[in-house]
Amino acid sequence: MNESAQVICPPALDVGKIRADFPILQRTVHGKPLVYFDTGASAQRPRQVIETIDDFYRNHNANIHRGVHTLSQEATDLYEQARLKTAGFINAPSAEEIVFTRGTTESINLVAHSFVRPRLQPGDEILISWMEHHSNIVPWQMLCEETGAVLKVVPMNQRGELEMGALVDMLSARVKLLGVVHVSNALGTINPIADICTLAKQHGIPVLVDGAQAMPHQRVDVQALGCDFYCFSGHKMYGPTGIGALWGKAEHLQAMTPYQGGGEMIRHVTFEKSTFNEAPGKFEAGTPNIAGAIGMGAAVDYLQKLGMENVAAWEAQLLAYGTEKLSQIEGFRMIGTAAQKAGVMSFVLGDIHANDVGTIIDLHGVAIRTGHHCAMPVVQFFGLPATARASLGIYNTFEEIDILAEALEKTVGMFD
């Protein structure tokens, strides 16, 4: 670590201890210690999550809800405990408001089909922001094509902040849903969700929040935010892939009709008619990802123990240090300089293509993401084909940022 890093306050987290929890950080890549700066795409898993899943399969595995035998009851208890933990983590008023899904993408699609579609008339509007991930663009586009509704986009400024004045002007009774990302994966911008919800409420507009990138980095309180739906993925928050959740206000979930039918979600079936379970069961058709949900519960426990305020504080220090350090590199330009920003450093390095940057620094053991980050309109906005993105997690250190900077400097040197 250089001198400027040493004036930064000591971390509230014991990062050495955290690192020891992540077995993958012991491995090398191209003979160098792995330096993982791709948590935004998918976080690594601590042994507590891995061991919980392992224990489930070794000792408790069975299908849930239907069985009277001991294993089925144990599996059901573990699955429902994970729902409770998840609800507590986001301060949901009730565990019944947590629907397990495959992740953020499926959560958004569920709301699109079960909540928004039945309310849409031709000429109605769906409002999203310019910095959305494709998962909060494409489902709405598909729905608009089908129904004759119109997709409207709230602009952003050159720093990658939402134009709040434009947002206010775009709110009207025609808008049937406002979908907005909490933390942008491509820019790191933290959007003022509570303010946005207050504004939307004045027009009776329900708000869906894509919380995929917020969940692992800051405390999320859905009641304080005032939103109607909150979507997230287990694998971004140190849990397994193939699992995530939709939180929705009870009144909405109760009124919504499921868009997938099958086992588990029914109360009574005849050939003439079927009746559905209450929420959340009616949205969880078929055998769910039982081990995944339990694993996500373990990830919630892990993060709760660290304290999300501590996580946010640590990542803010890393971001400040990284921003300063990388800015000294010839040709470095940060894409996304919002005043409120989470641990994402999206950048370009002179004329060097981002894919070349990513490939070269991989040889130094450094993993970053390159491309459009599933947010093509964002890179188009900045007139770029792609950016390189270093995204931060709880296990990253100042020393790793130094390694990243050194690898980037060597990359620049190769193109001089």
* Interaction residues for ligand PMP, span 365-404 (CB under 6 A): 374
Size of the site for ligand PMP (CB under 6 A): 12
Q: Which of 39, 52, 86, 104 binds ligand PMP (CB under 6 A)?
A: 104
Write the interaction track for ligand PMP spanning residues 114-143; mark x where CB under 6 A is met and - where it is not.
-------------------x-x--------
Rounded CA-CA distance 311/214 in Å is 11
Amino acid at 381: F
Residue 212 binds to ligand PMP (criterion: CB under 6 A): yes
Of 252 and 372, nearer to ligand PMP (C-beta) is 372
Comparison of 156 and 360: residue with beta carbon closer to ligand PMP: 156
Among 21, 97, 125, 210, contact with ligand PMP (rule: CB under 6 A): 210
Distances (CA, A) of 69 to 7, 15, 66, 154: 59, 43, 9, 53
- Give the number of residues written for the chain: 416
Q: Following DSSP, what letter does each residue of 161-194 receive, concatenated?
A: -B-HHHHHHH--TTEEEEEEESB-TTT-BBP-HH
Member of 39, 86, 185, 346 binding ligand PMP (CB under 6 A) = 185
The tokens for 407 are 């690898």
Q: In terms of CB distance, is 5 or 98 closer to ligand PMP?
A: 98
Q: Which of 44, 76, 86, 233 binds ligand PMP (CB under 6 A)?
A: 233
Closest approach, Cβ 227 to ligand PMP, in A, equals: 15
Residue from 366, 401, 371, 376 nearest 388 by CA = 371
Q: Is omega for the bond preceding 280 within 30 degrees of 0, making it cis?
A: yes
Q: Which of 302, 259, 266, 222 is nearest to 115 (CA)?
A: 259
Note if 144 is an active site residue. Answer: no
Nearest approach, Cβ of residue 105 and ligand PMP (Å): 3
Contacting residue, 86, 114, 129, 213, with ligand PMP by CB under 6 A: 213
CB of 184 to ligand PMP, least distance (A): 7
Using rule CB under 6 A, residue 103 touches ligand PMP: yes
Q: What is the token pair recorded at 160?
A: 């990658």
Alpha carbon distances (Å) from 283 to 26, 82, 104, 111, 355: 40, 17, 15, 11, 40
Give the binding site for ligand PMP (CB under 6 A).
103-105, 133, 135, 181, 185, 210, 212-213, 233, 374
**Active-site amino acid positions:** 374
